[in-house]
């Protein structure tokens, strides 16, 4: 594992959220927010209404900027998020997740917790000088963000669909060249 479990989960969740804004857009309904909540193992407050959905959707542009920035650009963004929400890291253990960090109260709004968790995860990425793990999808027509946590840095596409489409295109190009 490249980073700690909570850092990797937070990064993956942030990338999934950012990519939900990429065509075809998802995260359009409260049900999709519920599914996102379940998938990424969130705890704490979850109202499950349109206002909460809107606040989570509204995070996407700024999270995208943070995840695709340079290391030095990311630092002030991370510091600002932590200061804005008065983040105070503390170790917690819940469910089957061993000791990990929470930095705001569990009853803070979901959008706040996502924002702060992403900033906390980016602390690790910045300190380890691993910003190259985050990039834009190698598909020419896709704006998805890719998080490559693989040992051999082999991940170039944001989704299996993008990977398959490019594999097919590369295969056709090879055959056409024969």
Q: Which is nearer to Zn ion, 109 or 144 (CB)?
A: 144
Query: Which listed residue (9, 10, 119, 142) binds Zn ion by CB under 5 A?
Result: 142
Crossing angle of helices 50-57 and 110-127, rounded to 10°: 20
Closest approach of Cβ 83 to Zn ion, in Å?
22
Query: Which listed residue (53, 137, 145, 147) binds Zn ion by CB under 5 A?
Result: 137
Query: If binding is defined by CB under 5 A, does position 103 make contact with Zn ion?
Result: no
| Token code pair at residue 108 | 């803070």
Say which residues have a Cβ less than 8 Å from residue 78's Cβ, sequence separation at least 6.
Answer: 66, 119, 122, 123, 126
Closest approach of Cβ 141 to Zn ion, in Å?
8
| Token code pair at residue 51 | 């206002």
Using the contact rule CB under 5 A, the part of the chain among 58-66, 67-75, 81-89, 131-139 near Zn ion is: 131-139
Query: If binding is defined by CB under 5 A, does position 139 make contact with Zn ion?
Result: yes
Query: If binding is defined by CB under 5 A, does position 162 make contact with Zn ion?
Result: yes
Give the strand pairing for 97-102 and 134-136: unpaired
Query: Which listed residue (21, 103, 145, 158) binds Zn ion by CB under 5 A?
Result: 158
Size of the site for Zn ion (CB under 5 A): 6
Using the contact rule CB under 5 A, the part of the chain among 53-61, 79-87, 108-116, 135-143 near Zn ion is: 135-143
Query: If binding is defined by CB under 5 A, does position 27 make contact with Zn ion?
Result: no
Q: Which is nearer to Zn ion, 55 or 166 (CB)?
A: 166
Query: If binding is defined by CB under 5 A, does position 33 make contact with Zn ion?
Result: no
Query: If binding is defined by CB under 5 A, does position 144 make contact with Zn ion?
Result: yes
Query: If binding is defined by CB under 5 A, does position 21 make contact with Zn ion?
Result: no
Q: Note the residue count of the chain.
A: 178
Which residues are near Zn ion by CB under 5 A? 137, 139, 142, 144, 158, 162
């Amino acid at each position: 594992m490249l980073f700690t479990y909570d850092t990797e989960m937070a990064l993956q969740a942030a990338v999934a959220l950012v990519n939900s804004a990429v065509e075809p857009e998802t995260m359009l309904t409260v049900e999709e927010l519920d599914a996102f909540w379940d998938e990424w193992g969130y705890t704490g407050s979850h109202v499950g209404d349109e206002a909460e959905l809107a606040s989570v959707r509204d995070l996407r542009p700024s999270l995208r900027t943070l995840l695709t920035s340079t290391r030095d650009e990311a630092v002030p963004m991370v510091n600002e998020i932590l200061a804005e929400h008065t983040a105070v890291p503390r170790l917690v253990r819940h469910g089957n997740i061993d000791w990990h960090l929470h930095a705001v109260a569990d009853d803070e709004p979901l959008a706040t917790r996502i924002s702060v968790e992403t900033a906390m995860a980016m602390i690790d990425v910045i300190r380890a000088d691993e910003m190259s793990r985050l990039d834009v999808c190698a598909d020419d027509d896709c704006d998805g963000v890719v998080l490559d946590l693989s040992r051999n840095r082999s991940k170039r596409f944001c989704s299996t669909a993008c990977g398959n489409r490019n594999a097919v295109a590369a295969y056709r190009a090879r055959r056409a060249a024969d």
